[in-house]
Structure 1
């Protein structure tokens, strides 16, 4: 049995591929390499360069590789960019996912795990936010992901397959063994940007808004280690394989840090200061959001291993240094 991982050459997807390979799974990666890298794919996995919207290609892979399970990461993820280019996000995230889902249903795929987002909640009414809170996305990015969740729900009601939609909070860090990390140029993830700035790869870092209704005025987020997130996907896959019902589950630690608290942590870990500048709010950013991830723990036994902000930062910095050496070759 082979697992198809879309977007498996990207940040989170590459960690997922390593996790599956470590568990002895057979893996095929489908990635158009728009933001991912061929070298990021575990050598034990097979990489196919192509688009998830290419239904003929996906159908051929499902048939030829005997694929019965798909873990879907491919898509665009930058909230402010989605506000500026909503139709591009609906095309790349929602329309392309619909094409992938069509091929999956036609090809007899049994289990589908989807990379969703906490952005579906918008600004939550209660925190930690549970999955029972009604989605109210405040950006086209969040809406595009929620629309795909709805397609999965309706398709699973009509066809013999089950799904898990995992709503990520803020993903950070890198593989503790140094095999993968966030490598995209111009990435917007706070810990990635702070690591680059602390190591001199960027001249300064901008904080987008210091007038939010939070203790220090900056946005509060629930930061989850990327390896813990990959493990959550594998546990969800095991749960579906064992006959579990379709579900939507949050993936976070249940406590948040403000932007300024994260930057102070980076300073302590790296042992030096760096230039931080205040800027205006970005469109689409919620003031604070923290996960209630009890369902993931209860339903499929997810137990995080890296719930420690300084450790997350240390792994991000280690990867950033290794990436600098790679790019200097």
Structure 2
């Protein structure tokens, strides 16, 4: 086996005096700017009956939903639950890491529900509008995970397998329980692994964005775009979990392969199918042509 590529990228993109600007933060910033630009473009095309200020409110509440929902969900389902009574302030230490997409999604849905009621819009018209924007941040976030050398995949001998220096302790443990990998560990002092972050970037980012954007270019029945989002993300995440190392504090939950990520993706798959079925008898939201304050 030839020498695999080693993922040893400096997580700091550049310095502004004493301030370190990390690639991961830049990915989130680019994701937000990209989603905002596309949202404004689609709003001007009449896909959302709202002013620019109202769209700004939606973006702000959705961003807060991502942060609050993602953090709370992670601490409830992925962290040692003892933090509730031993270290409750851990909930607010977001700089220590720990965010959950599923919790962030619930936070965005809650923000969308509140915004929709405030503006007298059907909730799923809002969700259908937002769904094509989400994969921009998803894909860039996974790229940030790759640059940080985190959330790596299982050891593999595929030609594109990569070495993640941060996984060294896990490499040693894996080789100890899987003797067939000991020679590889001795050869490279590390184990080549699936770059599962790139798989997710491609599937949850590029593929989902392309499909949802193309589908939403024309007016579609209510629930259709949201249903496609739920079905695709649930299936993609469920599949990638087979080659991604589970969270070490949880491991596999059943049968030697079932992960928390897969369990939490099942409701998305079911909801996606239900929404697609509902869309067959749902009305189609036509572009708005009414001139709105702040529309230009």
- Shorter-chain TM-score tier: 0.3 to 0.5
Q: Larger strand proportion, structure 1 or 2?
A: 1
Alignment TM-score, normalising by the size of structure 2 = 0.33
Alignment TM-score, normalising by the size of structure 1 = 0.31
More RCO (CA 8 Å, sep 6+): 2
Structure of greater Rg: 2
Q: Larger helix proportion, structure 1 or 2?
A: 2
